[in-house]
Amino acid sequence: MGQRVAIVGAGMTKFVRRAQETGKELAFHATRMALDSCEMNLDQIDAVCLGTAPDTFDGVHMKGEYLSDGAGAWGKPYMRCYVGGGTGVFSVIQGWYHIASGLCDTCLVVCEEKMSSYQPHAQAAFLTIFDHTTERPLKPNLLWIFAMEMNRYMTTYGLRKEDIVQVAVKNKRNALDHPCAQIAKAVTAEDILNSEVLAWPVQRLDVSPVSDGAVALVLASESIARKVTDKPVWIEGVGWSLDTAYWTNRDLCYPRYVEEAARMAYTMAGVTDPRHQIHIAEPYDPFDYKELHHMEGLMLCGKGEAPQMTVDGITQRDGELPVCPSGGLLGVGNPIAAAGLMKVAELFWQLRGEAGKRQVSRKVKRGVAQAWGDLMQVGTVVVVGI
């Protein structure tokens, strides 16, 4: 499909609760690092795609334009995408079609989020996503959706909370080896089960934190990629799909939209048996149960089977199918759009064997990254390989 597109460079700031840097400065650090990582300069970049979540977080209207200079967009074709939490992975898709179409040969993909600006808590920035006639008069809280989704998931398959929290134990431990991690910490299942209940069954340690941070990638066409690096990581497939815009109308138990996005990406990548042809996965994990939900949507296991796979250790770094070896959002942090792009960056480093202490034990040649968001119903999927 069109020109082949490779990832040739990546950069990432530390994820922190409150960065002294402005959003633009965060974007600059990540972008500069990505360019330096492949020894390219801004003159060699044809276009810039930027992903960032709600304007409300930074408190800046048209945040895309605000961040553009830090992302290296001066004098270039520039576009901001925003599909909520799905943004980080979607931004790669947008960068991909700039090059696959033949329009450009190189493209910077930059994602930034500065959630600490919003006072007193970023949670309230989500208020206006609820329907103004039927939901907002009830003073809804974003936690309602996650808690009822998790309850439905647990009830439908008869799952135990003790098994689900193993995801948070794994990811927070994995993040201990990530130099950019905000909240890497060795926690036990007991710690999580004893943490404050936010909205049952969701507890404090089931959830990723509020963060500031930025991540950037350099994408290139095959002819450029071959000149820049001897280890290009190819974007083999992309997919995205949207379920109903009303979260109350959706199947809370199974993310069909993730499956649809995955099918689109797998078809493009020639993946017919994801359980065996995908060697490493970075599904979106803002909550521990969401990693499981998304593994099922990505068809890496059957419905309701992901918790057992986790308990069996299959998804550990040294397991058969490492899942979130980065430490994920639960461990590294969750600056919304940047967190999604971090997942693609992790696959880039893992496939090149450059993940340092996080390097998975098995030889991995193909991986999948996925993010989720919008009004909790968008699935964005990228398959990469070497």
Partner 1 sequence: MSLRERVNQPKDTRPWYGELPVESLYTVGIAGEKFLRTLKEKGQFLGTKCDRCRQVYVPPKIYCERCLAKLDDWVKVGSCGTLESWTMVHVGLDGQKLKKPELVALVKLDGASTCIVHKLAGIPVEELHIGMRVCAVLKPKTKREGAITDILHFKPADR
> DSSP character for 184?
-
Residue with Cβ nearer partner 1 (192 or 371) = 192
Does 178 engage in binding with partner 1 (CB under 8 A)?
Answer: no
**Among residues 97 and 144, whose Cβ is nearest to partner 1?**
144
Does 175 sit near partner 1 (CB under 8 A)?
no
- Joined together, the tokens standing for residue 43 give 């003159």
- Report the residue number, 22 or 52, with the smaller CB distance to partner 1: 22
- Assess 158 for contact with partner 1 (CB under 8 A): no
Binding-site member from 18, 160, 276, 357 for partner 1 (CB under 8 A): 18
From 70-78, 82-90, 143-151, 170-178, give the range in contact with partner 1 by CB under 8 A.
Answer: 143-151
Judged by CB under 8 A, which stretch of 134-142, 297-305, 323-331, 346-354 contacts partner 1?
134-142
Sites for partner 1 among residues 30-59 (CB under 8 A) = 59
Among 352, 353, 360, residue whose Cα is nearest residue 324:
360
d(CA 55, CA 251): 29
Residues 238-257 within binding reach of partner 1 (CB under 8 A): 244-246, 248-249, 252
Q: Which two tokens stand for residue 306?
A: 């992901």
Alpha helices in the chain (DSSP H): 23-37, 55-58, 63-67, 87-100, 142-157, 161-164, 166-174, 189-193, 222-228, 256-269, 274-277, 288-297, 306-311, 328-331, 336-351
Tell me if 13 contacts partner 1 by CB under 8 A: yes
Least distance in angstroms from the C-beta of 13 to partner 1 = 5
Please name the helix (run of DSSP H) or strand (run of DSSP E) that holds residue 114, with its range, or none. strand 106-114
CB-nearer residue toward partner 1: 235 or 292 = 292
- Whichever of 141 and 359 has its CB closer to partner 1, that residue is 141
Give the three-class secondary structure for 336.
helix
Angle at CA of residue 238, ends 358 and 97, nearest 5°? 115
Among 79, 103, 144, 386, binds partner 1 (CB under 8 A): 144
Task: Decide the pairing of beta strands 106-114 and 212-221.
Answer: antiparallel
Residue 169 is which amino acid? V
Nearer to partner 1, 75 or 120 (CB): 120
CB of 71 to partner 1, least distance (A): 17
Minimum CB separation of residue 100 from partner 1 in Å reads 30
Per CB under 8 A, 19 contacts partner 1 = yes
Q: Do the Cβ atoms of 262 and 299 come closer than 8 Å? A: yes
What whole-number distance in Å separates Cα of residue 192 and Cα of residue 17?
Answer: 20
Q: Which residue, 58 or 282, is less far from partner 1 as judged by CB?
A: 58
Length of the chain: 386
Tell me the closest approach of the beta carbon of residue 81 to partner 1, in angstroms. Answer: 23
Among candidates 294, 285, 313, 303, which has minimal Cα distance to 379?
A: 294
| Minimum CB distance to partner 1, residue 134 (Å) | 5
Q: How far is the CB of 377 from partner 1 (least distance, A)?
A: 12
Check residue 202 for interaction with partner 1 (CB under 8 A). Answer: yes
Q: Which amino acid is at 217?
A: L
Which residues neighbour 149 within 8 Å (Cβ) at sequence distance 6 or greater?
Answer: 252, 253, 289, 293, 376
**Among positions 2, 77, 102, 155, the unique one binding partner 1 when judged by CB under 8 A:** 155
Angle at 245 between CA 243 and CA 251, to 5 degrees: 50
Least gap, CB of 147 to partner 1 (angstroms) = 3
Strands 233-242, 5-12: pairing kind: antiparallel
User: Among residues 116, 277, 308, 359, which is the contact residue for partner 1, using CB under 8 A?
Assistant: 116
* Total residues at interface with partner 1 (CB under 8 A): 48
Pair of tokens at residue 129: 């996503």
Q: How far is the CB of 133 from partner 1 (least distance, A)?
A: 5
For partner 1, the closer of residues 181 and 309 by Cβ is: 181
User: Where on the chain is the footprint of partner 1 (CB under 8 A)?
Assistant: 13-14, 16-21, 29, 59, 116, 119-121, 123-124, 127, 131-135, 137-141, 143-144, 147-149, 151-152, 155, 196-202, 244-246, 248-249, 252
